[in-house]
Amino acid sequence: MDAGTTSGGVASVQFEIVTRTDVGRKREHNEDRLAAYPEVGLAVLADGMGGYNAGEIASQLVIDTVAAQLLPILNEDARSVGSGEIASAVKVSNLAIFDAVEQDADLHGMGTTVVLAMFQGRQALFAHVGDSRLYRYRDGALEQLTSDHSMLQELLDQGMFATEEEAIDAGVPGSVLTRGLGVDPEVEVDIGTEELQDGDIFLLCSDGLSGMIPDEAISSVLDSLTEDLSSAADLLIKLALENGGKDNVSLILARNQAG
């Protein structure tokens, strides 16, 4: 699905946004949910936790709640939002999961990740919980802007392993989260900001993509298809499936078209 373009607080800034999701080759249903609101520059992606009950319900709750919290603000005379408002929206979505569980015991244990990006003026504001990621592709280089809330990443941060490959080869599970929505009533939300440059491409994705394709391959796709985000998105999904498609695969690509 192509989400179109968005104009930010500065008239010269526009974003083209495309979204893709696929159930993958191993799962029976898709627990990923995503949404893009190009008219206000908001993109949100959530990955229902594998192995938990009703992960797809948790991820949809997050998408809906974040939208309900932020869209009225953004639609009010083109107002911008700050980091506090974005963090609050994610925290409210976490409480929405707990409320749903209280009303239906069958939903006990459901959870999800979230990553969102808000493009406004000359700035990108982003937030995440879990291991869904945000990357920025600029001048031929791909940079991961978020840090996974996972056991694997914690061990890397502690210096116990030099690379993800070394840790995984040693038996460290790559999918064990240390933070997620629906896990505790209170959740810490990581927030970041980036100044925009002309031609920046941002990638929001679930671990069904980042876990199947190395960063070098993602960068190569974006390098070869910089001017065609739809084809780039299609190729990234195709590569994830060809490499095993072990999980649901979802992504949002957003390109700064400032001129």
CATH of the domain at 158: 3.60.40.10
Q: Give the whole-angstrom CA distance, residue 224 versus residue 218.
A: 10
Q: What pLDDT, on the 0 to 100 scale, is given for residue 14?
A: 77
Q: Where are the strands (E) in the chain, listed by range?
A: 2-7, 14-22, 32-37, 42-47, 114-120, 123-129, 133-138, 141-144, 190-195, 201-205, 249-256
pLDDT at residue number 109: 84
Give residue 51's pLDDT: 52
Distance CA 40, CA 69 (A): 13
Give me the tens of pLDDT residue by residue for the chain, a chain 259 residues long.
554 544 333 333 578 999 999 999 999 899 999 999 988 999 999 999 855 568 999 999 999 999 999 999 998 866 679 999 999 999 999 999 989 988 888 888 899 999 999 998 899 999 999 999 999 999 999 999 999 998 888 888 788 888 878 888 888 887 789 999 998 889 999 999 999 999 999 999 999 999 999 999 999 999 999 999 999 999 999 999 999 999 999 999 999 875 4
pLDDT value of position 241: 98
pLDDT at position 247 is 94
Looking at residue 259, its amino acid is G
Q: Is 241 exposed, middle or buried (0-12, 13-18, 19+ CB in 10 A)?
A: middle
Handedness of CA 202, 231, 31, 217 (dihedral sign): negative
Spell out the residues 6+ positions from residue 158 whose beta carbon is closer than 8 angstroms to its own.
none
**Entry pTM:** 0.91
- At residue 190's C-alpha, the angle toward residues 122 and 95, to 5°, is 115
pLDDT the model gives residue 158: 86
- Pairing between strand 249-256 and 14-22? antiparallel
User: CA 118 to CA 202: how far, in whole Å?
Assistant: 11
- The structural domain count of the chain equals 1
Q: Supply the range of the domain harboring residue 199.
A: 2-256
Give the Cα separation of 11 and 5 in Å (integer). Answer: 13
